[in-house]
Each structure stands twice: as structure tokens, then as C-alpha cells.
Structure 1
């Protein structure tokens, strides 16, 4: 393979809803490029993209697949992305390292929630978009209706380059208004028959071409002047205008294909090769320090590793993008994230499960290598005289969590190693060893996401695992002021133990004034503050510790021990054993013994005094509340709202976005446990949601009593 230069390389992501035909399109593209001699199919489990056993088991793309085609002396690096929202990590990664998104639309259903999610991501990343209406041979496919929906949702920038003469099982021809030709196919697809536009389609074609010319001219001032003068542009001028308009997102070309029959795929690839932006046309990427890093082949080399695949008999396959400079086999690099030295072995151009050895890859190109010793997903390797670091990929928050355990406890360590390896392949899997909950928790994007993890763990790693409902990280706090004292006294021969602590607890809120006095049971306690310490708790909230002891009742040297005793009790709240937060403690009196007092005595006295006061201070359990945003077709809105109300959610607002209803709510984490399953069931998989932590709020009294009772029973069992 020749060494392609930056201005000969195009990087393209195939994205869209599940079932829109991305894997089938990818298969037809590599067939048209001559990389394979016979097209496989998802049903036959022999496609170039879905080659992992778990993908063949479920009939879904689980991982993104990187491949390339050489077309008209240009190199197209293409990433076929999973469509299911559960595997969004693959498409997020792909859109960050490519320069062009092709969003596939299922001709039966038109724009779906997955379409909208994909488009929103391109919007955030400011990437050019082509809409590709696929499966035009399906029943109930109405191209004109889909085009109207696209314009209604995404605006007049959606401009067709082609339109089908007819849709449904008889589909076999399109009118291309850029070239003003009719393309038709024999039943086997492949090479088109190119003819003049029939008379009955000419008027419609001219009308649509005029709109395309106007949209192309809008991307460039010089072209706009020419358009005003002649109301027309040459083919080359249109291509230039469309390319510039795509970079600025002022035009979203709309194409037609039937990938399953290989109809329209060759023409799409011509457009990708001739019109869509090169790497050199796109805005310059910045490193983590905010410095521009142009895709310049003559600059010092920097490689960004965006994906890790683990394959049988090979091990880790590391996929990278050359951010600047160039790379050859044997080049030495420094890992900017880990500080280690790395020598690159053989480098390859990607072709799904296959790899093609190459001599060199230059800035903007995508490739892979194997057998790296210390490179993880997200790492940057730098050559001499450069210190780049890239961290531009931001993944969505998790939506579905389960505690995980090995059926055979002796395999726990082996399970953890496998989990970390899988996370390299898919960074949206988050593994948490929770000290608080005493569980290993796997966070993912949905139930199907975690189901594939279980399948792989049991079938690939041969480790039997089970999922358990994760515990909820409740918190405890107080709602009123209370006082308590405790004397710890122990005499057992030799030196004894003695410490007495008197303290007051009260709820803490940010910015509250220091206390001056308290009135308890008619008695006034004046505070004379000697010291104050604010402890920001690892689990959220604060503990404010005030020393108000006068007259030397407790020596200053025992104050750290008193604080330690209180902190120990904060880590295991008196009600449910959950972390406590937002408490102010004022130690105002106590007693000590000249011989028997020591740190342990005061630590135990403080712990018991704090526990007693806490229980008298109107203790309450807090639960984590999350912000929830649901995107749902209007037909299902009532059912979704009804379900949320049954989950103790508070509806905060409703809006419409891109043809869908957007519902905002606040919901307890406990009620989110299986929400992805319920929402999919209610809407037939046509809705999506996102969550983010909001705050801790009081649980209803009946739930608090149930939690306290459950904790008491657990403590009995431990005893």
C-alpha cells in the first residue's frame, strides 16, 4: 500500500440507530473496494465488522470496527459503530477521531431516537454530517416523508443529492441531482446503469438541483456571487461548495442506498472520495493544554490510542490516530500518560479482523499495532521534542448498575483482571470496588450492555458470575440540636483508661455563623471557641468540629483523638450504618485523669457521646436523587409519565426536541435500578434517557423505618 498523505486521507464514522444497516453498508463498501470477493450478512454471521463471538451470538454490533478502503487514489478510514444506545461508547470514540459522520436512517421508520442522539453528538463535536436513507426496498418506506421529517427536525440544511424514483420491494433506481443522471441497478446490485433522466422526472430533478446549487453556493462567498449572476454552478464548483458547507455544517447532504442489495453504495463512495472533507480541511485539534496540534506530517510525532481490542491468539490490538508527524515500524516513543518508553512494532492499516502491514502512517491517518507493553486506551505516545497529551473523548454517565460477584469466590481476582481488560475495550464500562457498600459494582449503559459482559465473562473467560441488585449509598444526618456526654472508664490492673466528653451536635449548613450559646432544658451553655476544624468528607458534605472546652477540663492534646472518634462514627451512621454528613459538633466540657487518660479513652468517649447525641437530634436518612432526561416519541409520553410517578419521580418540565418529547424529572437512585429495562419495554426501545447526580434528599418516613429495621436485622445476623 502506498503512503497516503494528509490531504489524501478521509476519516468517516458510520453511525445511527440499531437496525439501520451500518454493518451491511460496511460489508458492501469493502466489497465495492475489492477488499472482499463475496459479501457476507449479519444473518449468516460472516460479515467483516461483526466478527466477535458475542456479536454473532446476539446479532448486534457490540464493538466499533475500524477498516479502510482505497478509492480513486484516496484512503477512506471508516469506523462502523454499534447502533444500540447500550454501546454508545463505540460511536462516541469514533466521532472524536473521525472528521465525517454518515448517519444511517432505516427507511421503514425514518429518524428515530438513535438518529437524534447521534446527531446531537455530531453537534457537540461540530462534525460534518451526511444523512443516508437505507433500506429503501422495505415495505412502508416513504422517502418524501423521511425527507420532510429531516427538514422539520434538523432544518433546511438537509438537502437531497439523490431521490428514489420508487420505494418498496421494487426499488432499483435513483435520480442523482448533483450529476443530473439516473442510476439504476439489476437485481444483484453492484455497478449501476447510468442514463439520462427520464422526461417524467426531469422537472422534479431540475427543481431539486436548483436547491442543491443554492445550498452549495451558500458555503462560499465567491460561489454565491457566481450563483447570483448565473443561477448555476459547474459540477466542480458544486463539489467545492458542498465540501465547505459540510465543514461549517451549513449543508447536510441526503443520499439513498439499499445496502443489503448493494444499490447506491458505489455512488456513495464516489461522493465520499470526491466531496467530503479531507483531514487537512478540518479545524485544528487541540491538546489537553489547549494548544493547537495541526495534522502536519513534518511535525514531531504524536499518536493517540483511542481503542483496544482483545483478540484470540493475538492479544491486545491497539488502534491509534496519528495526530501529528508520522510513524514507522521501530520508532521509539514516550507515553505521556504513564511515563514509560515504548517501541512501535509492525504497523497496520485496519481491515476489520484482518490487518494490512504498511511502512508508514502520516498525520491524520488511522492504524493499529500489536504487542505494546504499557499502552492503554486514551494514552498518547510522543516522539522527540514534543509533549502532547490528548483527552478529548468524554463518555456519557452510566445508566444501569449491578453488583457483580464470581460464583466461585476463589475466582474474584481473576474476574477483576478480566473486568479491567474489558474496560480497555469499552471505557463506558465502569468498575467500582465500593468500600462503603462492600460490593464490586459494574456500571454500564443498559441491561443489554451488562448482559454482553456476562456472556463474555462466562464464554470467553470461563468465569461464572452473577449479578445482584446494588445497595444504595444512603447518607445520615440530623435535623435538630441535641446534647450528650459519655464517660469511658476501665480499670483492669496497672494503668487504667479514663475519658469523659460532653458535646452538642446540630445540623450544619454552609455559611452558618459560629455558635455563641445553646439553651437546653432551660439551661444555657455559653460557647467560648478555642479552635475550629472543617472536614470536607470524602462521601460529600462536611463535619465541623469546634473545641469550646474552657478551664483545661480536657487537655488540647486529646482533641485529635476526640475528632477521630467522631469521624469513626460518621463513617458508620447510628441509624443504618451509612455515612453521616453535614453535622456540627461542639465539644464544650469533659473530664480527664492525670494518670489514666489517654488518646484511646477520649476516642471511645467521643464516639459514644456522638452516637447518643446523634440519635436524639432528629436523625434522618438521605437518599441520592438524580436528574433524569427522557427523550420519547409523543405517543408514549403518557405511559412514561405514569411509570415515573410510580417511581417517586418529580416531573420538572416537558419540552419538544427534534420531533420527540423531552421530559425532565428528579428521581431517587433506588427507583432507577431497572429503569432502562422498563423504558425499553414501555416504548418498544424507541426512547432513550440520561442521568446525572443532583443531590441528597430526605427519604419518606416509611422507607426510613424499613431501612432502619433492615439494618438492625443485618446487625443481628452478624452478631
Structure 2
């Protein structure tokens, strides 16, 4: 394969909604360049990018797939991404390493659900952006409607480069406003015929061409002077102005396509070659500590791993971008995060499942390697003399969760290993081994994300699993003071057990005054790992209980606080005062007083108006004004308390407090009623009392489980 210098390597990511035609466009680009001899199709399951079994089963992209094409002395690296927001992690990592985003818009559906979440990442990294209106051969194609939607969504940066002459089933011609030429394609697509613009289109073409010239000129003072001087700009000057505007994130050129019919992709690739910036022209990358890493071919070798993939029969593939320097096969680099040196014995250019081995990769290029031991997504590999950690990809937090168990208990250990592997590939799927809830919990981006994970477990790893509702980490506390005593006495030949404890418990709060009822000899204040406090007072007078048994009483109380009497949840914010008791000169020991303390606390707790607390989240939901009524209704039906509303940019933001027990169902409900147009985020706020009826039901359910366990 030809070695390209850093100025002739272009990195583009194809983004857009599901079914907009990204995978078909990628296939078309490879075919046009002669990389593949024949175009595959999504329906026939033979495209280069959608090659995983799960993608064939669903008919949608699930993974971001790296490809490349070579077009007129330029190498174009392409990453084809999924269009469903459940797989936003794949999109985020791809946008992070590419230098130009190609947003594919369906010629009928226009700016679709999920575009906003994708655009957040494009905007965050200020990536130069091209808009491509695809499927102009669709029977309901409406170019003007899509253009209007794009201008409403993306703003004044939308810059028309082309428009169709005869959209719909007979689509075969595009007017190009940069070259002021009409391209007419043969019936089977491919290389178009270049024709003069028809007379009945000249006025429209001239008007849009003038707008294009003004848009190109306004991004550079020198070009603006030329424009005033000459009244126009030539093609090279237009390209220069468009590139400057794209890099300022102020020009989004808009192109026309029918990828399915092989019409328009060649012109798009030509524009990527000539106008879209290369990595060396982009602003320098930044490290975690804010230092700049220019894309310098003469600099120290530095590469950033943006994706990890486990392939059957091959092992771990690490996809990376060469941020600086030149990478040679066999080179050894240092990974500070993994605290290891890694030798990259083989370097590849990937086209889906096919890999082409190369001996070197230049600065700005994208490639992959095999079997790095301790290097994962978001890691940086450096020349040992030059240490820098590239600012990582910031993945979105999860939005839904479920508990998971292996149907075969013998698979429990294997399940843990497999889930860790899947998380390594997909950092947006988080795995939590929750000791408190006694569950393994998966946190994902949506119901589909979790469903695909289950499919992979069953079909790729041959492991049958069940999803169960994830438990809620409730807390228990008390609302009033109560006293209780408990005598533990056991005789079974030889030394017996004896211990009696009298205690008072009461709600604890910050700044609570000292007890006047029982003089406090000493106090231990314990900050609980699960939140809240336990204050333990020694109020023993006259030696009723030897001081050496107080730690055992405290241990018994702490054990019961880890499995509260109401629902088995952690107990918090309680003050315990041990004020009397009895002991035996022979039979009293630590275990006796631990049991007595535990049982006295349990009995007192039931008399102290126990209160169950639930985690409550601050929630924000933003959506167009017309959807506010549906959102309000859903919030109220999921025990949410509305706390405020803001407005801006034709959107309303509703703020609410929502119990965690309702969150998973609420996210799904809001996605349904807003067709996915609502942006929802939730942050833990506090623990708050649950309603009395909810507490009663949860407590009854816990008692039934306890009784069933006792019978067994």
C-alpha cells in the first residue's frame, strides 16, 4: 500500500440517524475508489462495515467500523458509526479521533431523533462538518424541507454546495454550485456526465452560487478584500474560504447523494480531498494536564487508543490514531496508565473484518494492532522519552440499569469475566458488583443497549442469562426515641453465655444536643460508609457492664445496622446510648454482649417509628415546547415533584425530583412520548422518606422473604 504523508491523510466519521444510509455510503465510497470490486448491501448482509453477527441479525450498525479508501492521491480513513442513540459510545469515540464529521441526512426524514445527542459531541470538539442529504431517489424525497430543517437545527452555518434537479425515483442529476456544473449520472450510477446548467436552473444556481461566494469570503479578511475587488472568487479561493470556515465551525457544506444508486459519492470524496482539513491542519491535541501535542511527523511518537475490540479466533484488537511522530512495526512504546511497555509487532489498516498489514503509519493516520496486554480504550502510548496522556474520550453516563444472573449457577464466575470483557469493548456499559444489593447490575444507555448485551452473551459467549429488576439501595432510620433491653442467656454444659443490655436509641441530626437523661461517659461518632452517622454513647455507671464489653455491643449494633429490621437495608442517622445492663463473672463474654446489643437495638428500632428512605435524583428534561404537557404528565405519574422550569432556544427545561425506583421506567416513558427528542439527565440528590403505602408494601415483602428463608 502507498505511504501517504500527513497532508494527504483525511479522517472522516459518518454520523446520522439509523437508516439514513451511512453504511451504504461507506460501501459506495470504497467501491468508487476501487477498494472493493462489488458493492454489498445491508439487506444482503455483505457490506464491509456491518460484518458482525449481531448487525446481520438486526439490520443495523451496532459497532463503529474503521475503513479506508484512496481517492486521487489522498487516503481517506472512514469510520461508519451506528445511528441509534443506545450506541452513542461508539459515535463519541469515533468523533473524537476524526478530523471531519459527515452528517448524513435522510432526504425525506431530515433531521431525525438522536441527531441532537450526536451533534453534542461534534459541537463539543468543534469538528469541521459536512452535511450530506442522502436517498434523494426516495419517492417522498423533499430536499427543500430537509434544507429548512437543517438550517433550523444547525443554524446559518449550513452552506448549500449542491441541489438536486429531479429528486424522487427518477433522480439522476445534481447542480454543483462550486464548479457551476450539472452532473448527470448514468442509470446504474458511477461516473457522471458534466453538463452546462440548464437555462431554467440558471437563476436559482446563480443566486445560490453568490451566497456560497459570500459565505466563503466572510471567513477570511484577505478573501473578503479579494471579493470586494473582483466581485467574485475563483474555485481555489472558494475552497480556501470554505476550509477556513469549516475549521472555525462556521461553514457546514451541504451535498446531495443517492448512495444506494452510486450517485454523488465521488464528488463528496473530491471535496474531502481538496477542502476538508487533515490532522496536521487541525488545532493541536491536548493532554490531560492541558499541554499541546501538535500533529508533527518529526515529533516523538504518540498514539491514542480510541477503541478496543475482541474478535473471535483473533483476540484483542486496539484501534488508534497516531497523534504525533511516525509509528513503525516492532516499535516499543510506554503506557503510563497501564504502567507497561508494549511492543507493536504488527500494524494494520482495517476495512471491517479485513486487515491489510503495513510497516509504518504516519502522523495523523488511523490503524490497529493485535494483542496489547495492558492497553485499553482511552490509553496513550508514547515514545519512552516523551510522556503525555491525551485528554480522554468523555463517554455519557448510563441511563438505565438491570440486574443480571446466569441461569446456570456454575457460570457465575465466567459471567463476571465476560461482562468485564464487554465493558472493555464498550465503556458505556458499566458493570457493578453491588454487595449491598447482592446483585450484579448492568448500567446502559437504553433498553436496546441492554438487549444487545444479552444477545451477545447468549449468541457469542453461549451463556444463558436472565435480567431481573435492579434493587433499590434504600436506607432505614427512626423518627422518635425508644428504649429496649435484651438478655442473652445460653447454657449448654461447661461455660455458658450471659449478657444483658439496656439501651436507648433516638434520631441523630447534626448539632444534636447532648443527652440529659443519661450522663455520657464517652462518645464514639462513626461516619458510615453508606452515608449518615452512628453516634454511640457509653452511659454505664457503677460498673453494671465492664468497659471491655462496650466494643462488642457496638459491633452487634453495627451488624444489625447493615441489615435493617424493616427491609434489610442499611440503617443511618441513629444515636445509641447504652445506659445499663448485667453481666456474669464467668459466663459473660464478647459474643454474649454482641448478641445482646444486636437484639436490644432491633427491638428498640421497631418501637422508634422506623422510617424507610429512598434515593431521590434531581432530574432535568429538555424538549420542544409542544411536548411539555406529555413530559409533565409522565413525571407526575412516576412520583416526581416538579421543582422548576426554564426556557431557551425554542425548548423548555423541566426540573424535578424523582425517586430512583421510578427512574428506569421514566426514562423509557419519556423517550416514547417525545419520540426520543427529550434530553434527560439525572444526578443523585438525597435520601428522602418513602410514602407510607410504599414503606408498608416493601416491609411486608421483606417479611415474606424472611419467612420463606426461615422455612428453608
- Common fold: TM-score over 0.5: yes
Shift of 1:270: 1.0
Name 1:712's counterpart in structure 2: 703
> What SS is found at the alignment partner of 1:612?
helix
Greater displacement, 498-507 / 262-271 = 498-507
> Is 2:64–2:80's contact at 8 Å kept on the other side of the alignment?
yes
> What SS is found at the alignment partner of 1:88?
helix
> What SS is found at the alignment partner of 2:114?
helix
Name 2:48's counterpart in structure 1: 48
The 1:508/1:275 distance shift into structure 2, 3 A limit, reads farther
Name 1:521's counterpart in structure 2: none
Distance 2:84 2:71 in 1: 30
Greater displacement, 606-615 / 402-411 = 606-615
> Is 2:525–2:533's contact at 8 Å kept on the other side of the alignment?
no
Structure 1 residue 703 corresponds to structure 2 residue 694: yes
Shift of 1:488: 4.3
Greater displacement, 693-702 / 636-645 = 636-645
> What SS is found at the alignment partner of 2:156?
coil
Shift of 1:441: 1.9
Distance 1:416 1:273 in 2: 46
Name 1:244's counterpart in structure 2: 244
The 1:557/1:172 distance shift into structure 2, 3 A limit, reads farther
The 1:712/1:39 distance shift into structure 2, 3 A limit, reads same
> Is 1:3–1:359's contact at 8 Å kept on the other side of the alignment?
no
Find 1:616's aligned residue among 596, 607, 626: 607
Q: CA RMSD, aligned part only? A: 2.7
Shift of 1:267: 0.8
Greater displacement, 4-13 / 545-554 = 545-554
* 1:425-444 alignment runs, 5 A limit: 425-444=425-444
The 1:553/1:289 distance shift into structure 2, 3 A limit, reads farther
Shift of 1:689: 4.1
Structure 1 gap ranges (5+) = 519-523
> Is 1:9–1:75's contact at 8 Å kept on the other side of the alignment?
yes
Residue by residue over 1:423-479, the C-alpha shift from the partner in whole angstroms, topping out at 9 and shown as x without a partner, is: 222221222222122222222222222222222222222222222222222222223
Distance 2:70 2:547 in 1: 77
> What SS is found at the alignment partner of 2:254?
strand
* 1:396-545 alignment runs, 5 A limit: 396-490=396-490, 497-509=497-509, 512-518=510-516, 524-527=517-520, 530-537=522-529, 539-545=530-536
> Is 1:307–1:424's contact at 8 Å kept on the other side of the alignment?
no
Name 1:571's counterpart in structure 2: 562
Greater displacement, 433-442 / 47-56 = 433-442
Structure 1 residue 259 corresponds to structure 2 residue 269: no
Greater displacement, 648-657 / 218-227 = 648-657
The 1:552/1:160 distance shift into structure 2, 3 A limit, reads farther
Shift of 1:608: 2.7
Name 1:646's counterpart in structure 2: 637
Q: Give the paired residue count.
A: 710
The 1:257/1:492 distance shift into structure 2, 3 A limit, reads same
Structure 2 gap ranges (5+) = none
The 1:648/1:232 distance shift into structure 2, 3 A limit, reads same
> Is 2:349–2:356's contact at 8 Å kept on the other side of the alignment?
yes
Residue by residue over 1:29-84, the C-alpha shift from the partner in whole angstroms, topping out at 9 and shown as x without a partner, is: 11112111111111111111110111001101011101112223222221111011
* 1:10-159 alignment runs, 5 A limit: 10-159=10-159
The 1:705/1:156 distance shift into structure 2, 3 A limit, reads same
Shift of 1:576: 0.1
Distance 1:109 1:26 in 2: 20
Distance 2:239 2:512 in 1: 71
Distance 2:37 2:514 in 1: 86
Shift of 1:363: 2.5
Name 1:8's counterpart in structure 2: 8
Name 1:168's counterpart in structure 2: 168
> Is 2:130–2:252's contact at 8 Å kept on the other side of the alignment?
yes
Residue by residue over 1:151-172, the C-alpha shift from the partner in whole angstroms, topping out at 9 and shown as x without a partner, is: 2222212221222223222222
Distance 2:552 2:531 in 1: 22
* 1:208-223 alignment runs, 5 A limit: 208-223=208-223
Distance 2:663 2:565 in 1: 26
Shift of 1:546: 4.9
> Is 1:103–1:118's contact at 8 Å kept on the other side of the alignment?
no
> Is 1:113–1:632's contact at 8 Å kept on the other side of the alignment?
no
The 1:469/1:517 distance shift into structure 2, 3 A limit, reads closer
> Is 1:113–1:687's contact at 8 Å kept on the other side of the alignment?
no
Residue by residue over 1:163-217, the C-alpha shift from the partner in whole angstroms, topping out at 9 and shown as x without a partner, is: 2223222222222222222222122122122222222222222222222222222
> What SS is found at the alignment partner of 1:239?
helix
The 1:302/1:480 distance shift into structure 2, 3 A limit, reads farther
> Is 1:322–1:361's contact at 8 Å kept on the other side of the alignment?
yes
The 1:52/1:614 distance shift into structure 2, 3 A limit, reads same
> What SS is found at the alignment partner of 1:368?
strand
Residue by residue over 1:478-531, the C-alpha shift from the partner in whole angstroms, topping out at 9 and shown as x without a partner, is: 23344444454555565555555554444444xx2252335xxxxx34556x34
The 1:625/1:289 distance shift into structure 2, 3 A limit, reads same
Shift of 1:348: 0.6
Name 1:378's counterpart in structure 2: 378
Shift of 1:415: 2.5
The 1:700/1:239 distance shift into structure 2, 3 A limit, reads same
> What SS is found at the alignment partner of 1:263?
coil
> What SS is found at the alignment partner of 1:222?
helix
Find 2:659's aligned residue among 641, 653, 668: 668
Shift of 1:221: 2.7
> Is 1:300–1:384's contact at 8 Å kept on the other side of the alignment?
no
Distance 1:588 1:255 in 2: 82
The 1:599/1:244 distance shift into structure 2, 3 A limit, reads farther
Greater displacement, 627-636 / 134-143 = 627-636
Distance 2:618 2:259 in 1: 40
Shift of 1:706: 0.3
Shift of 1:218: 2.7
The 1:606/1:39 distance shift into structure 2, 3 A limit, reads same
> Is 2:108–2:146's contact at 8 Å kept on the other side of the alignment?
no
Shift of 1:558: 4.6
Greater displacement, 29-38 / 237-246 = 237-246
Name 2:343's counterpart in structure 1: 343
The 1:224/1:652 distance shift into structure 2, 3 A limit, reads farther
The 1:583/1:400 distance shift into structure 2, 3 A limit, reads same
